[in-house]
Structure formats: structure tokens, C-alpha cells
A and B are shown apart, each in its own frame.
Chain A
Amino acid sequence: MAGAFKEYEDLLSPKQLGEIKEKTEGMNEAKVNKVLKKVYEQYSNSKVEAGESVGIVSAESIGEPGTQMTLNTFHFAGVAEMNVTVGLPRIIEILDGRKEIGTPMMEIFLKKPYSKGEDIKKLALNIKETLLQDLMNSVSVDIAEGKVDIAIDNEKMQEIGMRTDSVISAVEKGMKGISVKKTEEGISVKLKSKDEKLINEVYKLKEKLKSVYIRGIKSIKQVLPVKRGEEYIIITAGSNLIDVLSMEEVDQTRTVTNDIFEIQAVLGIEAARQALIKEVFKVIEDQGLNVDIRHIMLAADTMCFSGKVKGITRYGIVSEKSSVLARASFETPVKHIIEAGLVGEEDKLNSVVENVMLNQPIPVGTGLPGLIVKVKK
């Protein structure tokens, strides 16, 4: 029995072999052999043939449905309205490899006891980044004394379970050159240094105080607890993968962000590739279009194979093409030609674009095979 599988060890993937093993349980060896042979035959047939121009086929397969995509943004009804970039703009954003994406979002899954949703609201508020302005009721500036009085919203404080003392320490931590006192209504912040330009300084202080970080996870702008199936998850606007993952309550294995560069930084390039595929496929699926996932995989592979996520732009992938003519035919031709001239670059004419330019057979499909025999001159 094992002998039959051994023969195919190098030909089929372990996953396939495992599955066959499971399903052929109890068959005799001849039958198993037959199954293996058939599977290998089908597997070989489904492989892409040499000389197939997978790039163009992928580009056409993604590009054609892309023309039908709408430019609408998708509305999210929840605690606060969120607009999410979807459709064509999102695809462009992903494939361009933009560092700053339109709407960074996270889906935070929780570990067992927390995912039941008992304290979900509190947990969500803990994750949300709280700035001093979120807790303010009113601000008044005392020019004579050089201080800023802040009235604190007690309801909000209760909601997130914070005391004025901890706010004071957070403010002290977040800013330098100030002293903070507790008052009846809230806190009072005073500048330590006495300057002639006090008035200006106080007003600057007032503005700065608004954005002082109090607690929560930085750059998580909004949180929205949602029930998905049996468990509760938290959807956030804004993304901070590393800090969220280091929380005790969070299920690190499932929590995701839509910021590919963050995934690359935190989880590495393989995760980034997977995220790219998932994000692009999600957009295409949401639009009700049908594109084979392998086309997207190819695009993701080309973006990631260098070890860093690179966009399909003249600064990213295209700048890495070896052929001068191919680069020049994409964008900014003069720049590429002059730079190639400066260093004396050589174009081996190995790819499609160059050969179309020269009216030579392109090395794809029927143009790929050549003679091995050397002909004497």
C-alpha cells in the first residue's frame, strides 16, 4: 500500500496525497494505484503549459470585469457612519501598492470567553483611541494666569470607566512643560515657563491639548462591535495590527487588517501576499464579478517576489523590468532611455514588448521554441 504512495511522493503535493489516502481507505492496492494514476493525469493536465502568456491572460481577465465595476463607496451603518473604499478605487489602491490607503480597517476576533459578547462594548472602547477632546465638555482659556481649564464629560468618563486622576497622569505623560491640577469640573493645565508671548503659547497649548492621547490603541478611530455567527467581533476604522495583536483578549490567529503594508511589517511577506490576494478577491466578489483566483495570485506574486510589497507602477514593479525598451514603453520613456544611455544598458530583447516594437516573433506561445542545434556560419 505504502509503495503506491511512495511512487507519487514527488509528483503530487502532500495535501493531495493525504486526501487520497483518506478517501481510498480500504481499497486494494491495484485500485489505489489506478486512482493515483488518474489523479496525477488530471493534475498534469491542469498545469499551465510552457509558453502560455499568463501575464496577459491575467491582465485581461482582471481588466475586462474591471470595466464593469462601479465607483460607489459602500456605506456602513453603525455607531457612526463609515465610508469604505471598495470597487475600482480599492483595487487600484491595492495594486498600486499605496502606503496610505483610503480606509484602513481591522476585524478583531476575540478569544473564547471574550467572544461571547458580555463586555464587548467596554472592550471595544478600550481599543478605541481616546484623545482628550473626546472627553471634553468645554475648554476655557485664562490668559492672565496662563492656563487652560477643561471641563470633563462625566458621562463619557463613566462609560469608558476612567477617573480624572488617570486623565491627569495621561496628560502629564503626553505633554511636556506643563503642570496639571484637578478642579471641580475637570482639570486645569498650566504652562510652567513664563514667557512674554504667553498669550500665543496658551492658545497653542489649548490646541495641542485637544489631541493629547489618553488611552486605547493609537490610530483606531472608531470601533463597532458586530455579531458574526455565534461570536462577537470588533470592526474598527483605523488600523494598528501590532498593538491589537499584543492584547490578551484578541485571537491572534484570525484578527486581520486591510492594510497590506502593516501586515508586511508585522507578519512578513508571505502574509502580505495572502492579504493581497484576499483583499483583491473580496472586492471582485463583492461586485458580483467572477475572476479566477489564480489571476490575482499571479498579480500578488509579482508584487511580492522581491521580498517587499511593490506596486504595479513605474516606481514599483515596472522599474524592475530588465528591458530598457519595455520600461520606456510603459511610462516616462525619455527618462528611461537617457538613464540607460548614461550607464550603457543592454537590452537582450527577451520579452514581449520589445519584440513587438522590433517586429520580431515574440517569445510566447508558438514563438517560444527554438532550435538547439547550432548552425555553422
Chain B
Amino acid sequence: MSEVYLNGKFIGEVEEPIVFVENFKSERRKGKIESNANIRYDDKLKIVEIEAGKGRATRPLIVVKDGMPLLTDKILEQLKKGELTWSDLINQGIIEYLDSAEEENAYVSFSEKDLKTDNTHLEISPYTMFGICTSLVPFCQHSPTPRVNMGSKNQKQGLGFYAANYLVRMDMDTSLLHYPQTPVVKTWMHEVYEDDKHPAGQNIVVAIMSYEGYNMEDAIILNKGSIERGFGRSSYYRPSIAEELRYSGGLIDEICIPDKEVKGYKSEKDYRLLEEDGIVYPEAAVNEEDVIIGKTSPPRFLSSFDEYNLAAAARRESSVAIEHGEKGVIDIVLITENEEGNKLVQVRIRDEKIPEIGDKFTSRHGQKGVVGLIVPQADMPFSASGMTPDLIFSPHGIPSRMTISHLIELIGAKVGSLNGRYIDGTTFHSEQEDHLRKELLTMGFRESGVETMYNGQTGEQYTARIYIGNMYYLKLKQMVSNKLHARARGPIQLLTRQPTEGRGKEGGLRLGEMEKDTFVAHGASLLLKERFDSDKTVIPVCEKCGLIAIYDTHKEKAYCPICGDSDISDIEISYAFKLILDEFKSLCVYPSLKLKNKY
């Protein structure tokens, strides 16, 4: 007798649990029970568990009977001809999905040649153990797992042809690679997910060598000629949104060119790109701080009719401007309504990003790097045939990381490019390295992949032979032009009078607690004071009560509101300290300042 549980709930008992489980499985293979139901007999607890709920990870396996897989060559033929489909295989019980519980009762063979008579299942292929992204790393069986992981993560950030309808999309923060190519070295996954319809990189010539030290520490050298021919070019898109919000009292935002009376009016120059409707025109070249959608909002506080203030409260300026440090061209302007019926304006800015020093590139093997130098083609090293590499990768990136797949791809793509065919780099099923090398030899190249190269500046032959070949490189979405930022003076926060934070707000670069400690450790006392005086203020203090006094600009005199006529002295402190004194007061703590002359 065994208890039977369905989705964790007790539903009854069976006399012969093992027979019951076997019957259940065979019925499922016949298609009489849902194929996603899994059953397991727990021989410790003597219970039968049936799971058919959602949220279980299941995986397909080939069913094995008497040591023979049910998936025969005949069926494979039919599959090839298209007479059978995947779902037919499942309906016929040739392939079934197991969850982790049923796997406990299964005896899975890793490959067909290892099959024994008591095996219950056969793995479809070893590479089913990898996900989509990891399967995209060619020859990945030759590299350490962490590197393969990085390789698959890096590819998610690669720029490419991300959607065919990009022209009408308003995605936030996207880029489009200008001349994307499908890789020469492919894996099975590239076919499956149709990489040639949305590729994300380019096949380029890579030399592994150093160049004047500009590719130290994972930097890469780019060939200026290659960039001019379109390597790594992309367009960056960012939409801006403005909405005519409705407020209580029938007030509404207005998208228009703001009047000069409006509170917070910028300057005529800032509004110069706006057309009559208050929106920029397409293909206008815009720069930082330019207004692209003019908008005014009703006054924040509607005061009751004020007899002394005859003029109606002015509207506020709330235009959308290009953020600090950005530039571009207006791509499209979209005017619609949103769900609430408010007018909605979206403006998409496009900016062409040509590779520059600081942009990030990667191969597919977790070997990312930042451009350290862009070299004119004339100065690039060249081979005997006059070939210059598009990119120079540092040899120091290889030994410690052991990304052998990186090196094999270079040879593989070289063979593929020379022979005009795709190379299969599928994990565990890839083309043999020695075959590739032999093929390279037949085409008149050294089978080691190295070539004699010459210094592009002097024309001298390099003593070392250079490992050079083709590779698939991706431009990553991190580009310097979106990150570069510096500040000397600039906007401050209202509350603390300290500099604002972040690039978009032209913020300051924070000198944090630990950085402060280094100043202290050096005893650089006055330098520290100077670095921290971004919010310094001079405040009058009453010497009698020790509280902050008031400076009356009309009388040009400071006085204490508590003590009246008393001695007032100015002190210089950080505004943050003035704030904390106020907070002490709110805690009913009396922070009395006792002043003393320093000298």
C-alpha cells in the first residue's frame, strides 16, 4: 500500500505502487495522460508523487526501451524530410519531458554508445545542458566555465539589429549596429534562433600582439581605416516624453513655446529649435540643454485672490531639454494621446556613435576590452600580403584566463573566411582543431596560425611571428560618450547646498568617507578643508545665546531674534552643520555655540 499525492495533495492509495507508476508512464507515452505530468515513486517514504502543476523545470529526454533508444534512424530520416515534427515525437512517446522528481527514478545515459540495458532514457545531446546564450560561445568546451559564462553575458550587451521595426519603436536607451554580420564561426544555436536575421557583431581581422603599450590591461587597438569603413558604427536612440497633465481646478499643462513671463524662462536661444506647436522639427541637430519640447505648467500653489498682487500668478516653465552631456539629431516626433486622453509628445533623438577611445568591445569568450588607441591604417602592422588587422588584442589576456576557445575561433574563422564557408563551433560537436589547421596549411598559411608581420611605422620585420586571423567581435552598449563627465562648478542641491549627484544633473564627483580618511592619514588638513568647502557658508551667531542670528539686509545689521541687541559674530561653517543644528533644535536639544577667537 502506498499513498498517492497529486500536486502535493493526498488523493488516495494504490496496492502496487511500482506497477502503478509504470502504468502511468506508459499511458502518458500513449498520449492518454498529459505529457507534462510527472510521476515519481519515493522508495524511502513509500509514496507516489504526481506533479502536473506549473513552475517546474522540465527537460526533454529520449525514451529507451531494452537498451535501444526509441528515436531510430528511420524516425530521424522522417524528421529531416519534415514528415514528423517535435510534437509528434512527444505524442508518440519517443521523447518525454522529465521534471527533477521523475529524474530521480530515471537512469539517463549521456551518449548512445554508453547505453546499457537498464537505462531508461538517453540524453538528446550533450549541448542541451547549455542555455541559449551559452550555446552561442563557439568552441566553449575548450575554455574554463567562468570565462564561458562571461562570454555569454557579454553577448547580451552586444549591439546589433535588435528589432526589425526599430524605426517606429520608442525604446529607451537602445543602439543599432550599422553593418551587422552573422559570424563565420557558428554554433548550432545560431541556426536555431536565426542569427542571420538579427546578428549582433562583425567579422574582423584580429592580431594578437602588443602595440606600443596601448593595449595593456585588456585594452584593444583599433584600425582607423576599419572604423572609417564602418566597423563598430552604431546609432544611439533615446526618446523624450512630455505629457499635458491635468490638475485639479481644470488647470492643464500646455505644450507650446513658453512666454517670456513664464517663471523659470530659460533664454530665447534655448527655444530656437521649437516650431509653432512647441515641438522641435525632425532632423534638427540638438545639443545639451536645448529645449526639444516646450511646456508650461500652472502655478504650483493657487493662492486665493490677492488684492495686492494684481497680476495673475505666472505659469511655470517645465520644458523637456536635452540632458547635460548629450547631443544628437531629432529622429522622429510623435504626437498622440494617452489612456487618459492627455496630449502626449514623444521625441526620439538619434546620435551616431563612431568607435572612439574608451568604447568597449568583446569577442565571444569573455575577453572584453576598452579601446586604448585608434591607429591610422598606414601605421598598423601588416603581413606579407599587405593585410592589416582591424583590431589588436593583447597576448597578456590569454595565459591567466586560459580562453583557448578564443584562439581556436581565430583559426576557425580564418579558415572559414579563406574558404568561404561557415565553421561549426558547436560545443562538443565542433570541427576538429587539427582539421582546421590542416586546411589552413593547404591554403598556403602556416598551420599554427602565425604570420610574419612588419612594423607599420618603420617597415621593419617583427622578430616574432604574429598570431593573426579572423574573429567575430561585438560592440558593447557601454560607450564613453554616454558616460564621460567632469565638473568644476555647477548646480547645487536646494536643501544641503552641496553639489547635485549624477551626470545628467551635471553633478559633482563625490569624495567619500574612505577617501576623506586618506587625506587625514596624510595629515593634509587644510587640503581636506578646501575639498569639503563646497557648502561653506558664513552665518551670524549671537554670542549671548549661541544660536544663529538674523542678518537684516535693509538695516545692514545682524540681530538676535531672542536676545535682541547683543553681540553678533560671523562664523564660517559648512551648511550641512547649520542644518544639523536645526535638526537638534527640532529634537528639543539646545545647540548653543560658544565662540572663541582662534588667534
Give residues 337-353 of A contacting B (CB, 8 Å).
337-338, 340-341, 346, 352
In the bound complex, CA of A140 to CA of B524 (Å): 76
Please tell me which one of the listed residues B523, B532, B580, B587 contacts residue A356 in the complex, with CB atoms under 8 A apart.
B532
In the bound complex, CA of A340 to CA of B592 (Å): 12
Tell me, yes or no, whether B577 is within 8 Å of chain A by CB: yes
Give residues 189-220 of B contacting A (CB, 8 Å).
none
Give residues 23-58 of A contacting B (CB, 8 Å).
51-53, 56-57
Tell me, yes or no, whether A200 is within 8 Å of chain B by CB: no
B463–chain A nearest beta-carbon distance, Å: 40
Give residues 502-529 of B contacting A (CB, 8 Å).
516-518, 520-526, 528-529
Tell me, yes or no, whether B589 is within 8 Å of chain A by CB: yes
CB atoms of A358 and B577 under 8 A apart: yes
CB atoms of B576 and A357 under 8 A apart: yes
Residues of chain A within 8 A (CB-CB) of B523 are 51-53, 364-368
Tell me, yes or no, whether A306 is within 8 Å of chain B by CB: no
Closest to B533 in A: A359
CB atoms of B587 and A337 under 8 A apart: yes
Tell me, yes or no, whether A191 is within 8 Å of chain B by CB: no
Give residues 304-337 of B contacting A (CB, 8 Å).
none
In the bound complex, CA of A361 to CA of B520 (Å): 10
Residues of chain B within 8 A (CB-CB) of A51 are 523
CB atoms of B577 and A60 under 8 A apart: no
CB atoms of A57 and B521 under 8 A apart: yes
In the bound complex, CA of A361 to CA of B573 (Å): 11
In the bound complex, CA of A8 to CA of B569 (Å): 53
**Chain B 456-494 near chain A by CB (<8 Å), digits 1 or 0:** 000000000000000000000000000000000000000
Q: How large is the interface on B (under 10, 10 to 19, 20 to 34, 35 or more residues)?
A: 20 to 34
CB atoms of B517 and A365 under 8 A apart: no
Residues of chain B within 8 A (CB-CB) of A79 are none
Residues of chain B within 8 A (CB-CB) of A52 are 523
CB atoms of B525 and A375 under 8 A apart: no
Residues of chain A within 8 A (CB-CB) of B599 are 371, 374-375
CB atoms of B577 and A359 under 8 A apart: yes
> Most A CB atoms within 10 A — which of B516, B525, B536, B580?
B525
Give residues 316-364 of A contacting B (CB, 8 Å).
334, 337-338, 340-341, 346, 352, 356-364
CB atoms of A357 and B577 under 8 A apart: yes
In the bound complex, CA of A336 to CA of B526 (Å): 29
Please tell me which one of the listed residues B524, B529, B580, B589 contacts residue A359 in the complex, with CB atoms under 8 A apart.
B529
A281–chain B nearest beta-carbon distance, Å: 22
A69–chain B nearest beta-carbon distance, Å: 18
Tell me, yes or no, whether A176 is within 8 Å of chain B by CB: no
In the bound complex, CA of A374 to CA of B580 (Å): 32
Q: How many inter-chain contacts with C-beta < 8 Å in the A-B complex? A: 80
> Most A CB atoms within 10 A — which of B528, B536, B599?
B528
Q: A356-B516, A357-B574, A358-B573 are in contact. Are A365 and B524 (CB under 8 A)?
A: yes
B205–chain A nearest beta-carbon distance, Å: 41
Residues of chain B within 8 A (CB-CB) of A337 are 584, 587, 589
Please tell me which one of the listed residues A334, A362, A374, A377 contacts residue B520 in the complex, with CB atoms under 8 A apart.
A362
In the bound complex, CA of A363 to CA of B599 (Å): 15
Please tell me which one of the listed residues A359, A365, A371 contacts residue B532 in the complex, with CB atoms under 8 A apart.
A359
**Chain B 569-593 near chain A by CB (<8 Å), digits 1 or 0:** 0001110110010001001111000
Tell me, yes or no, whether A59 is within 8 Å of chain B by CB: yes
Please tell me which one of the listed residues B518, B525, B535, B572 contacts residue A368 in the complex, with CB atoms under 8 A apart.
B525
CB atoms of A59 and B574 under 8 A apart: no
Closest to A334 in B: B587
B576–chain A nearest beta-carbon distance, Å: 7
Residues of chain B within 8 A (CB-CB) of A334 are 587
In the bound complex, CA of A360 to CA of B526 (Å): 8
CB atoms of B521 and A366 under 8 A apart: no
In the bound complex, CA of A57 to CA of B533 (Å): 24
CB atoms of B526 and A352 under 8 A apart: no
**Chain A 160-178 near chain B by CB (<8 Å), digits 1 or 0:** 0000000000000000000
Closest to A366 in B: B525
CB atoms of A60 and B528 under 8 A apart: no
A329–chain B nearest beta-carbon distance, Å: 10
Residues of chain A within 8 A (CB-CB) of B529 are 359-362, 367
Tell me, yes or no, whether B385 is within 8 Å of chain A by CB: no
Give me the interface of A with B, judged by CB distance under 8 Å: 51-53, 56-57, 59-60, 334, 337-338, 340-341, 346, 352, 356-368, 371, 374-375, 377
Query: What would 25 A/B residue contacts be, using CB atoms closer than 8 Å?
Result: A60-B518, A60-B521, A334-B587, A341-B589, A356-B528, A357-B580, A358-B573, A358-B574, A359-B535, A359-B572, A359-B573, A360-B529, A361-B525, A361-B526, A361-B528, A362-B525, A362-B529, A364-B525, A366-B523, A366-B524, A367-B525, A367-B529, A368-B525, A374-B599, A375-B599
